[in-house]
């Protein structure tokens, strides 16, 4: 398969020299080995189905010769074997991208790619090295001497051939061009190419808010403003939360949502393509029980009508102080739902003068181990009705006024 690619390059004039590598940045694109000052590809061309091409730039990689030469990688995701690509540079580029001056990959750089015939000054501009070919596998470990062909009279267009070996689908290769990465035309497109979410991971107490920041960059790692990021939060319960934000001048925007009532882990996706299409970034959020923060006794009992229309009965007592772990006993019965809940352990209690939240483990109808959260209110100062609310991993009563009593006593 031969693929044609327009690569716009405007270059600075300079002479190559041999340098030890000084770049310390971890490369974004590992399809290229370290060469000279580069730790990886400065440019990555990705070939897709139907001859499509995208170009991405790693701004941390300088010219590998310290002057102008660019280390270019090719990733073949086309679905077929690639034997060559056609390249054209920017009009008026000086020197032109194929004005090869015998200071390419095999000019003796330290480090340099394996298989280079160092000292062969007449043919030092090599291309087509397949990075998935192991050194020592025979003829495929050496560079062919004639891998740039069809070079135009102005040396601004030509063909890069991959013959030793060809690039299979899913494989990659690398070569060098004259000119710096800053002049590659696709970099200035301003089209979202990457989305990074932060924080990537984190832990919050249940029921609190979490804010995710999306950073959208184009192919040159430049920020993209005005991009709409579509967020999807998928909770372990199967509940899905969606939202969106629009990036500003720095290419960033934020999305805030409230976490679940019980411990869970969220998978967060943020996509900057049309209607939520890629590119996307991903992150996770773990929701955990709060640290107990209550010095008091909570007692309650009575009945109410739950969300499902059933009359439910409940009663319990909980205690928490600074010297001892939380303790208590909770009972809830919904006869219409054939549900009887009895606590087997209290894990955490938080409270204020008028509200308490009790977290624990319980059985359902005498079996199993189910997380629960009970919230009761005792609004004596405001004169409102006492309320009760229980949530289990498979049941939610809803919060309702009760016939009964709730008392929250500080100790």
**How do beta strands 2-6 and 84-88 pair?**
parallel
In this predicted structure, what is the pLDDT of residue 362?
Answer: 97
In this predicted structure, what is the pLDDT of residue 90?
Answer: 63
In this predicted structure, what is the pLDDT of residue 53?
Answer: 74
Following CA atoms 345, 348, 350, 351 in sequence, which dihedral angle do they give, to the nearest 10 degrees?
Answer: 20
Q: Are 313 and 330 in contact (CB under 8 A)?
A: no
d(CA 49, CA 163): 21
> Rounded to the nearest 5°, which phi and psi values hold at 274?
-60, 130
Tokens 């979410």, residue?
197
Q: Is 222 helix (H, G, I), strand (E, B) or coil?
A: coil
Helix H or strand E segment including 277: none
Residue-wise pLDDT for 348-372, tens only, equals 999 988 999 999 999 999 999 999 9
Token duo for residue 351? 């409270």
Token duo for residue 376? 């009761």
Q: Where are the beta strands (DSSP E) in 93-152?
A: 129-130, 148-149
In this predicted structure, what is the pLDDT of residue 136?
Answer: 32
Is residue 110 packed enough to be buried (19+ CB in 10 Å), middle (13-18) or exposed (0-12)?
exposed
In this predicted structure, what is the pLDDT of residue 335?
Answer: 96
Q: Is 186 helix (H, G, I), strand (E, B) or coil?
A: helix
Is residue 367 packed enough to be buried (19+ CB in 10 Å), middle (13-18) or exposed (0-12)?
exposed
In this predicted structure, what is the pLDDT of residue 382?
Answer: 64
d(CA 269, CA 281): 6
Low-confidence ranges of the chain (pLDDT < 50): 2, 4-23, 118-146, 183, 185-188
The model's pTM is 0.56
């Amino acid at each position: 398969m031969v693929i044609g690619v327009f690569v716009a390059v405007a270059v600075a004039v300079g002479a190559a020299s041999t340098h030890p590598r000084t770049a310390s940045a971890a490369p974004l694109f590992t399809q290229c080995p370290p060469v000279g000052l580069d730790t990886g590809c400065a440019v990555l061309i990705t070939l897709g189905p139907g001859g499509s091409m995208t170009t991405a730039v790693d701004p941390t990689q300088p010219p590998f010769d310290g002057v102008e030469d660019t280390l270019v990688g090719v990733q073949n995701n086309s679905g077929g074997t690639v034997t060559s690509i056609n390249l054209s540079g920017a009009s008026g580029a000086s020197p032109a991208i194929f004005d090869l001056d015998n200071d390419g990959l095999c000019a003796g750089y330290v480090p340099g790619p394996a298989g280079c015939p160092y000292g062969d000054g007449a043919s030092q501009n090599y291309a087509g090295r397949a990075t998935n070919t192991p050194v020592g596998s025979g003829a495929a470990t050496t560079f062919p001497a004639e891998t740039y062909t069809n070079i135009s009279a102005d040396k601004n267009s030509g063909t890069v051939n991959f013959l030793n070996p060809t690039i299979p689908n899913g494989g990659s290769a690398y070569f060098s061009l004259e000119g710096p990465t800053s002049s590659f035309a696709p970099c200035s497109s301003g089209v979202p190419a990457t989305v990074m979410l932060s924080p990537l991971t984190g832990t919050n107490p249940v029921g609190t808010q979490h804010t995710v920041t999306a950073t959208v960059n184009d192919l040159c790692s430049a920020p993209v403003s005005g991009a709409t990021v579509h967020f999807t939060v998928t909770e372990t319960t199967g509940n899905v939360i969606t939202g969106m934000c629009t990036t500003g001048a720095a290419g960033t925007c934020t999305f805030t949502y409230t976490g679940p009532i019980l411990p869970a882990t969220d998978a967060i996706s943020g996509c900057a393509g049309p209607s939520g299409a890629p590119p996307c970034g991903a992150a996770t959020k773990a929701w955990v029980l709060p640290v107990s923060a209550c010095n008091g006794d909570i007692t309650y009992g009575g009945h109410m009508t739950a969300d499902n229309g059933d009359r439910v009965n409940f009663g319990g007592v909980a205690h928490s102080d600074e010297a001892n772990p939380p303790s208590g006993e909770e009972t809830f019965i919904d006869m219409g739902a054939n549900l009887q809940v009895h606590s087997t352990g209290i894990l955490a209690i938080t409270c204020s003068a008028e509200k308490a939240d009790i977290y624990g483990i319980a059985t359902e109808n005498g079996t199993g181990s189910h997380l629960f959260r009970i919230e009761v209110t005792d609004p004596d100062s405001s004169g409102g009705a006492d309320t009760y609310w229980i949530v289990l991993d498979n049941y939610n009563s809803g919060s309702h006024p009760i016939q009964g009593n709730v008392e929250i006593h500080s100790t």
